[in-house]
Structure 1
């Protein structure tokens, strides 16, 4: 539902002396780093273990309903909460949220509609988060059952990584949220399909694929990549909330679609964060 308009890639008044922070002199070898910390006996210290799942949204109540249903079906002993962050929707999303108050630890926060303010509403959700680890999940990214468990298992071992989850495109137009609630395996059983709603895809036969999959394969899930922030898409990511104190929050000057997640990822990598892809098996 975002406004679409043509913008200049580099504004004419862009300051010529403005430069990005330098990047680390190493590749994104999270395996070496993890083993090094283990050999030195360095373990993360967490005060409030759990995952705060931030779901930014603007309208799209039916899709949000399905995503929340899939979160109800999570198999994990870890605590988690859901924060629905509303960017001034005209649809009544509170009604959807209230359906899940007895099934999830769920909160609803809303800001006025000032146009496309994705970064601002992400920050609003992040400020509301109560746990040490946070995830940003698009409202149309319905997770499989072990999603919370797999993310927290990795983050508790190493809080200096950011986890990136790939996408699988499926068709849910003729399926209700109640069907997902009643069948926890339904979301995983749906076949991949084609979509023309996302510019960040590639095609293979009659299905659409996450464009990043090819790069993940070439770089051993970004381990051998020297610029992993390029693949940091905030539709499905998780990291320690401590990193917000180190690099700052999402830049709210971004008020049109695109670029804000890569810029945030750049700051994470520049400050020493490692990026790891979570495969579908995880």
Structure 2
């Protein structure tokens, strides 16, 4: 059940939701996202909060000008600290509703997205709700894309039936809502992506970390199939180079989880380093030789696997070298 303790942050019960859109130098898509949300078929009021993780006066002015002509309340909030988790928490603190709705700045929301996303909160044990994320291809996808896991594009479809999610299923942060009080009660989001790539070693499991915290406290996570968004996928996101970078980042995230939840000794971590190195070499070199007569898509898949293990390998090396990174991975929460 949801705690009855008072939230330390202001809220307006009359607002059904605060929609929070973290953004980082992507105004190209942001305003289409805002327009699709502002036109929601929702009984009741809601607000939209744009959290700028690369604050600029130009974007602030554009958001304020757009807000003057939209039917929904629209606010601009700057968050200069690099990191998606900082932007998400900043938006939560600024929000005036008891229900926080998170989406990315490159999605298009279906007209009844919010209505479907909010309805399951009638059950007080439900603390977090997500929905479908379908692709909106800007160009026809290449044929080899079928061999790439949908998670690389933040796509999600658990079917057409409402579902209380088991522990092995997660929802993505591009279509996620959570009770504000509960978010702060459990400790918020874990680190996620960083606009500043120099901070990439501090990446973590983001919304998956939040969902682990929620489940540890006994809260339900719910899938609402009617809460549909489309994720805009541009041609530049479908290149082998971009997919390898995504795999590299995923390797760092997986390594964060290994260290945070397994808490290996330094000796065990050193053994793990050599294991990751072996896997990287296998996928980078050996399988390429074995598969030399296979179609090109096999080479692409193996290069993506190699990038994943390279991310794990290098993150493990940083863990071995830097006590501050080890401490970062084991923090109780990342709210500050």
TM exceeding 0.5: yes
Shift of 1:70: 0.6
For residues 207-264 of structure 1, the C-alpha deviation after alignment (integer angstroms, 9 at most, x for no partner) is: x892x43xx359x665362333xx2311111121121242022235975455111111
1:141-189, Cα deviation, whole Å (9 max, x unpaired): 211111122222222444523111121111458xxxxxxxxxxxxxxxx
Where structure 1 has 5 or more consecutive residues not aligned to the other structure, the ranges are 1-32, 34-45, 174-192
Aligned to 2:150: 201
Partner of 1:223: 164
Structure ranking higher in helix proportion = 2
Aligned residues: 205
> Hey, which bits of structure 1, 4+ residues long, moved more than 6 A?
none
Q: Distance in 2 between matches of 1:224 and 1:132?
A: 22
* Structure with more contact order per residue of length (Cα contacts < 8 Å, sep ≥ 6): 1
Closer/same/farther in 2, CA of residues 73 and 125 from structure 1, 3 Å limit: same
Structure 1: how far apart are the matches of 2:163 and 2:172? 14
Unaligned runs of at least 5 residues, structure 2: 2-11, 195-199, 229-336
- Kept in 2: contact 1:61–1:91 (CA 8 A): no
Corresponding residue to 1:68 among 29, 34, 47: 34
Question: 1:87 aligns to what?
Answer: 53
Alpha-carbon distance in 2 for matches of 1:58, 1:124: 14
Q: Distance in 1 between matches of 2:227 and 2:55?
A: 35
SS at match of 1:52: strand
What is the CA-CA distance between 1:281 and the residue it aligns to?
Answer: 7.2
CA contact (8 A) 2:131 2:176 kept: yes
Secondary structure at 1:136's aligned position in 2? strand
In 1: Cα distance, 2:209 partner to 2:179 partner: 18
Q: 1:253 to 1:260 in 2, by over 3 A?
A: closer
Specify the alignment match of 1:261 in structure 2: 207
Contact 1:97–1:108 (Cα < 8 Å) also in 2:
yes
- Give the TM-score of the pair, scaled to structure 2: 0.53
Pairwise CA RMSD of aligned residues? Answer: 3.2
Question: What displacement does 1:267 show?
Answer: 0.1
**TM-superposed deviation, 1:278:** 1.6
Say if 2:225 is the partner of 1:279: yes
> Aligned runs of 1:31-46 on 2, under 5 Å?
none
| Alpha-carbon shift at residue 111 of structure 1 (Å) | 2.1
CA 1:169 to 1:51, structure 2 compared with 1: closer, same or farther past 3 Å?
same
Give, in whole Å, the separation in 2 of the partners of 1:155 and 1:88.
33
Aligned counterpart, 1:148: 114
Distance 1:111 1:77, change over 3 A: same
Residue number in structure 1 paired with 2:68: 101
Higher Cα Rg, which structure: 2
Structure 2 distance, partners of 1:74, 1:241, is 21
CA, structure 1 residues 281+102, in 2 after alignment: closer, same or farther (shift >3 Å)?
A: closer
